[in-house]
Amino acid sequence: MAVPSVACYVCGQIAGDPGRDLIAQSLPRAPYIRRVVLDSESFAAVPSLGPLAEGHLLLCPRTHLPSAAALPQAVHAEYETVKAALAARLTFEYHAPVHVFEHGMACSGGRTLCTVDHAHVHLVPLPASLGCLGLTGPEWLEFDGSIEALTALTRGREYVMYAPPGGRSLVCVDRAPEFESQFMRRAIARALGSRTWDWRSAPDPESTHRTWQRCAVHPARPLAQ
């Protein structure tokens, strides 16, 4: 797997580096805290700095990769286990089902998506039905939601993936014209009737901190509920 990037803010947050931790930098008067909800051997979950709802988490590989589809097969089972456990925790804490999405970068090429080049899969507790997200047309393929199927369908190309709670997952690969930055954030915010989707222009570090306080895994408080 790739080594951590010295310039990546996600790598910095996972490593506990105050100089590369955007959440800590957004709360400058607070003592430094490494706000990581969960650590496993190959993954870390961090709260989103621009949450679509409180409880919005990002599941990230500990090493610097362009997408979940680029994960080596050796960690696929760990990814599925961690993702399922995080979804169970969020459902328990927020009494809402979890929506999962990702805008995965291509394995080659210079296009950086969402201004972040470190793989991050979004898990957000939201109402079961969001209404129309506009994910229609022959370019959207149904699949079983597994990382193996996602890897096989995308084959190193750029993609957007969405997994609704209790439904079939969707993926769109190499769309023309290209997906706009933060495509799924825009679509979900629109369905919620919200104008807040851009995590850079509208961060909410206080909500991010509350998510970390509520969801962080401690030895006396196991992940699965």
pLDDT at 109 over 80: no
Q: What is the pLDDT of residue 1?
A: 45
CB 9 within 8 A of CB 116: yes
3-state secondary structure of 206: helix
d(CA 15, CA 122) in angstroms, rounded, equals 20
CB 153 within 8 A of CB 102: no
d(CA 32, CA 17) in angstroms, rounded, equals 9
Q: What structural domains and CATH numbers belong to the chain?
A: 49-204 (3.30.428)
pLDDT digits 0-9 by tens, 197-213: 888 888 899 999 999 99
Per the prediction, the chain carries an average pLDDT of 89
CB 35 within 8 A of CB 57: no
Residue 132's pLDDT band (cuts 50, 70, 90): confident
pTM of the full structure? 0.92
Q: How far is CA 207 from the centre of its chain?
A: 16
pLDDT at 220 over 60: no
Residue 5's pLDDT band (cuts 50, 70, 90): low
d(CA 34, CA 15) in angstroms, rounded, equals 8
Q: What is the pLDDT of residue 151?
A: 97
d(CA 89, CA 222) in angstroms, rounded, equals 9
